[in-house]
Amino acid sequence: MDQEKILAIETSCDETAAAVVEGGTTLLSNVVATQMEIHQKFGGVVPELASRHHIEQITLVIEKALNEAKVTMDEIDAIAVTEGPGLVGALLIGVNAAKTLAFAHQKPLIGVHHIAGHIYANRLEQEFQFPLLSLVVSGGHTELILMKEHGDYEIIGETRDDAAGEAYDKVAKALDLPYPGGPVIDQLAHEGEETYDFPRSWLEKDSFDFSFSGLKTAVVNQIHQLKQKNEPISKANIAASFQASVVDVLVEKTYQAAQQYGVKQLIVAGGVSANRALRRSIQERFEGTNIAVSIPPLYLCTDNAAMIGAAASIQYRNNQYASLNLNAQPGLMIER
């Protein structure tokens, strides 16, 4: 039997994306129209602007995804879409486009959780081995999620304040660096040295939760002190020191959780998994263990629709369909 082909749509933040995925593991097309440059001058994503750009791109991106996959709507078995979490106005464009396609071509509709998508991006590269642990790090998320089987998610740790990506953006702003902060700080850190001993927030002994607001404050205070003393500020050294602290905590907590839950596989997912220091550090820490580490290639780390199609494949096989009254759910939870 042929594997199912899913047309997936993702518009939860500032990327308008559509993709065709076969059998949950094979990428037939993956089209992303990014709005990064549009939001850059505002120092962050402007929700109304994001929605306005999504609506201008949506049918173009879907058409391109079908063309690149060389399939017609008739050959598509289901339509999948990110239903949440995300910016409500942005999500609405994808959700309404997906519902319309499902109706127009009488196809099943599947609502997908954005974070499930980030995790399943890995399945386009490598089959899952359960139990698995996923470290999800992005502008809006820092979570450790345990999976015992497909479609089953348990959050065993999460941030109590800022997400890791958010901390990057705030530190970048304090250093007068452009938005988004992640790639710029990663690059600068590469050129600098860890000269400041910024705090590592471990929280309670057995907790796998994270906290980055104290670190962010320490960095901002350090910059402030240097300015007051009229001392030169090495952005590279501050970036290197800040990044070392973030990566230390992320990697160590992930390692401890992986050991405690006896997982067979570790997946690093979300936009921040593009970070080179994090990738290197994770690989080093897990070397010699029998835990398989998988980090998707960069183009699958950042928001895309292929990951939504991959996650939707599991729901398709379990007949977990949505009806035409599907709505955008900006605060959708991953645990059922």
Q: Which residues bind Zn ion (CB under 5 A)?
A: 138, 303
Q: DSSP alpha helices (H): ranges in the chain?
A: 36-40, 47-69, 88-104, 114-120, 164-174, 181-191, 213-228, 235-260, 276-286, 298-301, 306-317
303 binds, among another protein, Zn ion, none (CB under 5 to 8 A by kind): Zn ion
The number of residues that bind another protein (CB under 8 A) is 34
Output the smallest distance, CB 73 to another protein, in A: 6
Q: Contacting another protein (CB under 8 A), which of 103, 130, 148, 289? A: 103
161 annotated binding-site participant: no
Nearest 5°: the CA angle 156, 159, 163 is 130
Q: Does 178 bind another protein (CB under 8 A)?
A: no
Q: Does 105 bind another protein (CB under 8 A)?
A: yes
Q: Going by C-beta distance under 8 Å and a sequence separation of 6 or more, which residues neighbour residue 152?
A: none
* Alpha-carbon span 170 to 91, nearest angstrom: 25
**Residue in the structure block whose two tokens are 């921040």:** 272
Output the smallest distance, CB 315 to another protein, in A: 19
Residue 134, SS3? strand
Q: Does 52 bind another protein (CB under 8 A)?
A: yes
In the structure encoding, which two tokens stand for residue 59, read together? 């049918």
**Residue in the structure block whose two tokens are 């081995």:** 129
Q: Give the range of 85-93, 126-134, 184-192, 227-235 binding another protein by CB under 8 A.
A: 85-93
Q: Contacting another protein (CB under 8 A), which of 32, 80, 97, 247? A: 97
186 annotated binding-site participant: yes
* 89 versus 180: smaller Cβ distance to another protein: 89
**What would the DSSP string read from start to end of 60-121?**
HHHHHHHHHHT--GGG--EEEEEEESS-HHHHHHHHHHHHHHHHHTT--EEEEEHHHHHHHG
Q: Which residues participate in the annotated binding site? A: 114, 118, 136-140, 169, 182, 186, 275, 303
The residues that touch another protein, with contacts defined as CB under 8 A, are: 41-42, 46, 48-49, 51-52, 55-56, 58-60, 62-63, 73, 89, 92-93, 95-97, 99-101, 103-106, 323-328
Q: Which residues participate in the annotated binding site for Fe cation? A: 114, 118, 303
